Amino acid sequence: MIEIVNLSRHFGQLTAIDDISFTVEAGEVLGFLGPNGAGKSTTMKMITGFLAPSSGSISVSGFDIGTQTIEAQKRIGYLPEGAPCYEDMNPLQFLGFIAAIRGFKGDEQQQKVAQVVTTMGLESVLTQKIETLSKGFKRRVGLAQAIIHNPEVLILDEPTDGLDPNQKHQVRNMIRSLSKDKIVIISTHILEEVTAVCTRATIIANGKIVSDCSPAELESKSRYAHAVTLHLTEQQSAATKLSELPGVSEVEVNEEGKLLTVLTEGGQSIYEQVNDLVRQESWQVDALYVEKGRLDEVFRKITEEVV
Ligand SMILES: Nc1ncnc2c1ncn2[C@@H]1O[C@H](COP(=O)(O)OP(=O)(O)OP(=O)(O)O)[C@@H](O)[C@H]1O
Ligand SMILES: [Mg+2]
């Protein structure tokens, strides 16, 4: 478990983190969201003991990061923002070095390196200097060093930034497969990533936590939750008829009248009524679906309220 109590961090006049408290339990994958400069990386740096708080406390698996730093850090894998590595080493040397300082020797050290090389698909770049690797491969090396000791707690600062779609998929699968008994905190600007891998979405803005719930709950706060979208094969003047259905608050029209979204008052379900109307009017549709809610809209609403 991670326990954060009344955590603050100032940089001169700036309050980067403003008295935040939260706990994360084993099995949780927490997605840390927030606009640029919100305080995500600063919080992660403090959880991992890389940066000291101005006030407040953090304990990781029962160890205080300020006073029992090494015990806490043994249990943490950390991918810092931008995935910094020793650039003049090659991945084989670098991962060997990380395995050694994590306490592995001999066969076990080699085995640990081999394992993460396979997981992160690093075979083709093992002897190439890290400084000459592409951005995505550098990030893979960074991820490999974070998981090499099979830590209880994984803190990943924008882990999929710069990865190709296949690697993004791979990393998300890796995070999902890890999460059974571990704590994972990932920061990301990719909102779909939160729905794809996280059990919890925590939004930070201006150094304060402004929302903390499950991704599904977050989606349900959207004005599009339960809205019905239909895609007409041909342009039709369907909006007026749709807006006359009982309970409809608004009909949004896009793509020159072909894409319509029907929003309801209080977010009640309207699928049946829309479907009946489509049949009654013989509109040709190639898609008709109920929306879950749009995270980008909720994110904007929540974070803009704070500014
Ligand atoms: N060492 C530092 N000295 C001065 N200000 C700092 C320092 N580190 C962070 N800050 C400031 O603290 C605030 C929070 O920064 P942080 O890097 O935590 O944001 P973030 O949420 O990770 O943003 P991003 O999405 O851009 O990565 C910013 O205003 C940043 O400029
Ligand atoms: Mg950051």
- Please tell me the pTM assigned to this model: 0.91
DSSP-derived 3-state class of residue 124: helix
In a domain, 297, yes or no: no
Tell me how far apart the alpha carbons of residues 44 and 79 are, in angstroms, rounded to a whole number. 10
DSSP-derived 3-state class of residue 59: strand
Domain residues for the domain of 45 are 2-220
* Nearest ligand to residue 39 Cα: 1
Closest ligand 1 atom to Cα of 40: 21
- Per-residue pLDDT of the chain (307 residues), as tens digits, is 999 999 999 999 999 999 999 999 999 999 999 999 999 999 999 999 999 999 999 999 999 999 999 999 999 999 999 888 999 999 999 999 999 999 999 999 999 999 999 989 999 999 999 999 998 899 999 999 999 999 999 999 999 988 889 889 988 988 888 767 899 999 999 998 999 999 999 999 999 999 999 999 999 999 999 999 999 987 777 888 999 999 899 999 987 778 999 998 877 889 999 999 999 999 999 999 999 899 999 999 999 876 5
Closest ligand 1 atom to Cα of 35: 25
Token code pair at residue 118: 């396979």
Q: State in Å: Cα 178 to ligand 1 middle.
A: 28
272 and 216 in one domain?
Answer: no
Which residue's CA is the closest to the ligand 1 atom numbered 18?
39
65 and 143 in one domain?
Answer: yes
175 and 152 in one domain?
Answer: yes
In a domain, 148, yes or no: yes
- Give how many domains the chain has, as a whole number: 2
CA atoms within 13 A on the CB side of 159: 31
Residues lining ligand 1, Cβ inside 6 A: 11, 14, 16, 34, 36-42, 81
239 and 188 in one domain?
Answer: no
Contact between residue 296 and residue 191 where contact means Cβ atoms under 8 Å apart: yes
Which residue's CA is the closest to the ligand 1 atom numbered 30?
37
